Structure 1
Amino acid sequence: MSDEVEPGYVRVRLDLSYDGKDFSGWAKQREGQRTVQGEIEAAIRTVTRSKRTYELTVAGRTDAGVHARGQVAHVDLPAEVWAEHEDKLLRRLAGRLSHDVRVWKVAEAPAGFNARFSAIWRRYAYRVVDHPAGVDPLLRGHVLWHDWPLDVDAMNEASRALVGEHDFAAYCKRREGATTIRTLQRLSWERDASGVITATVRADAFCHNMVRSLVGAMLFVGDGHRPVEWPGQVLAAGVRDSAVHVVRPHGLTLEEVGYPADSELAARNLAARNKRTLPGAGGCC
């Protein structure tokens, strides 16, 4: 599938962040639902005085309530619109957008760049505290309270079995025609001096609810309700386990998206569109 920019258009990369609390996720939905995509597209249309809406493509479509610190998107603008507004676009978007969403950088994208398909990894953080008194009020919108003491060492031990390329069907909400094979590059836990426990979750891509399901499983290990072998057993079974809870979205933040060197963008763009199978799994859909 070709992803060449139409003649007369310029592909523009946007680096952005948002607090997901009051958004119904990234993707545009029915009228009346406030979304990050809808808000930024409307702002671009307004500040460029355009009659049409230019659609954004995003690196990772976050769910309702999920935050982003290092989100990346692209938009194809007519060359004349870009030429007229390039130097002023960032400041004008700052004046137009609500305070819970910010675009930090706008720049012409290198050849072959696609915010979604050129990415080679996405890194999320999930933050949780197990203090018996609850969450610091100043952090409550970004940190989950778990009301059982958590053993971080046990959670790290359990996490190791899930790293690598696997079919994560047991930890994903299935979507018709979509694969659940992913390469989980990192899943680790660390408690800081203030008591906040942060899960770092990095993969080439994620399927729906994958991060929050993985976190839910690990919390059950951390509080002693399940043995360290259990998350790996769930993965191997390949089916949803009713004991795996999808934790609440507010503790989750998309921290960073990684891309290859400019010379490798186009090749990655094409490769990422191929539907994956595991070695020895045959050529099934």
Structure 2
Amino acid sequence: MVPMSNAPDSTRPESVRVRLDLAYDGTGFHGWAAQPGQRTVEGVLTDALATVLRAPVRLTVAGRTDAGVHAAGQVAHLDVPTAAWLALPGRSTRSPEQALLERLAGVLAREAQHGPVPAPRGAGDLVVHGARQVPAAFDARFSALTRRYCYRIADGGPAGAPRDPARRGQVLWLNETLDVAAMQAAGRPLLGEHDFLSYCRPREGATTIRTLKELSWRRLAPDAPGPDGGLVVLTVVADAFCHSMVRSLVGAALAVGTGRRDADWPARLLAARSRQLAAPVAPAHGLTLKEVTYPADADLAAQAERARIRRRSPGCCE
């Protein structure tokens, strides 16, 4: 019989990488990034994780959303000391993933009681609905293939959606009637790889070149299933977005849809590559991060390396 030993397993890695899938109502947050004296998604989540894990944590996120922007499909990762990870279930039969989710839910719900607008008991504005161990090569930011956002508008047209006060924090209300066909036509020249300087607030050392894969405006039928019936909805997909890029794309489209600009103006703006001629930025509350996609595990490292190289290029992406 081999004697049992309590000695540490020297083959066990010092930490495990954990992917988090989360959603939040951005109304009560000053964006994702932690800021002193401000309630942010990163700040609240980091504090909650540190409480549960009893260790400091550092988060990497797929999309650094602005203040007021919502998320239904945000992704982040963190590295957890192996001992802390294995200790999460305690004496229960739960997996570390299950234990983390359950304990986080309680901490986040309690935090929400002290937010700017106290939440109903047991309900918070930040929910982590998925947690799982992933390969060390997984990087929530650089391994991502695409990000998908949607923007919702209730305009003043006869076919427009009725104003729903319960959703006023997720839908932009407009009195004007939007020409959705003109907005769709105006967006076509923006598809593909371009320098979106006129549509971005550039960060120092970061490129403003992005590959826009989809830019689709449509008015949903009033009787469409779900809560979006009658709304004008944008679906936009890219490899990545720079600061305020989606809201600038919306702002330019609204200028066309309301007749203030012709349908060729967004393309001229793109070609100008100028912050002096920058597109107007639409309000944040109509925007939601819906999905982030990733390659198969075997391709994670290669995708992350490609993204890092590309975004360091002088001529080329967040």
TM-score scaled by length of structure 1: 0.91
Structure-2 separation of matches of 1:71 and 1:54: 18
Q: Alignment partner for residue 219 of structure 1, among 254, 264, 283?
A: 254
For the 8 Å contact 1:212–1:247, the answer to whether it is kept is: yes
Structure-1 separation of matches of 2:33 and 2:71: 14
Structure-2 separation of matches of 1:282 and 1:143: 36
Shift of the alpha carbon at 1:111? 3.9
Matching residue of 2:32: 26
Structure-2 separation of matches of 1:29 and 1:276: 25
Q: Alignment partner for residue 185 of structure 1, among 179, 198, 213?
A: 213
Q: Alignment partner for residue 172 of structure 1, among 185, 197, 200?
A: 200
Range that drifts further, 62-71 or 266-275:
266-275
Look up the equivalent residue of 1:88 and give its one-letter code: A
Does residue 135 in structure 1 map to residue 163 in structure 2? yes
Structure-1 separation of matches of 2:30 and 2:315: 38
For the 8 Å contact 1:131–1:195, the answer to whether it is kept is: no
**Structure 2 vs 1, CA of residues 23 and 187 (structure 1 numbering), >3 Å: closer, same or farther?**
same
Q: Alignment partner for residue 14 of structure 1, among 12, 20, 45?
A: 20
Q: CA RMSD in A?
A: 2.0
Matching residue of 1:89: 100
Unaligned runs of at least 5 residues, structure 1:
1-5
Look up the equivalent residue of 1:95 and give its one-letter code: G
Structure-2 separation of matches of 1:183 and 1:43: 35
Does residue 43 in structure 1 map to residue 48 in structure 2? yes
Does residue 235 in structure 1 map to residue 260 in structure 2? no
What are the superposed Cα offsets for residues 192-222 of structure 1, whole Å, 9 maximum, x if unpaired?
1232111001100001110000000001111
Alignment of 1:96-107 (within 5 A): 96-97=107-108, 98=112, 99-107=124-132
Look up the equivalent residue of 2:307 and give its one-letter code: A
SS in 1 for 2:290: strand
Matching residue of 1:115: 140
What are the superposed Cα offsets for residues 216-247 of structure 1, whole Å, 9 maximum, x if unpaired?
00011111111111100100111135572101
What are the superposed Cα offsets for residues 52-93 of structure 1, whole Å, 9 maximum, x if unpaired?
420111000001100000000001000011111114111111
SS in 1 for 2:80: strand
Alignment of 1:141-156 (within 5 A): 141-156=169-184
Range that drifts further, 131-140 or 226-235:
131-140
Structure-1 separation of matches of 2:257 and 2:239: 26
Shift of the alpha carbon at 1:249? 0.4
For the 8 Å contact 1:234–1:241, the answer to whether it is kept is: no
**Structure 2 vs 1, CA of residues 282 and 234 (structure 1 numbering), >3 Å: closer, same or farther?**
closer
Q: Which runs of structure 1 show a deviation greater than 4 angstroms over 4 or more consecutive aligned residues?
A: none
Shift of the alpha carbon at 1:277? 9.1
Q: Alignment partner for residue 247 of structure 1, among 282, 306, 309?
A: 282
Structure-2 separation of matches of 1:277 and 1:223: 38
Higher Cα Rg: structure 1 or 2?
2
Unaligned runs of at least 5 residues, structure 2:
1-11, 89-95, 113-123, 223-228
Look up the equivalent residue of 1:94 and give its one-letter code: A
SS in 2 for 1:26: coil
Count the aligned residue pairs.
Answer: 273
Percent identity over paired residues: 56
For the 8 Å contact 2:215–2:235, the answer to whether it is kept is: yes
Range that drifts further, 158-167 or 185-194:
185-194
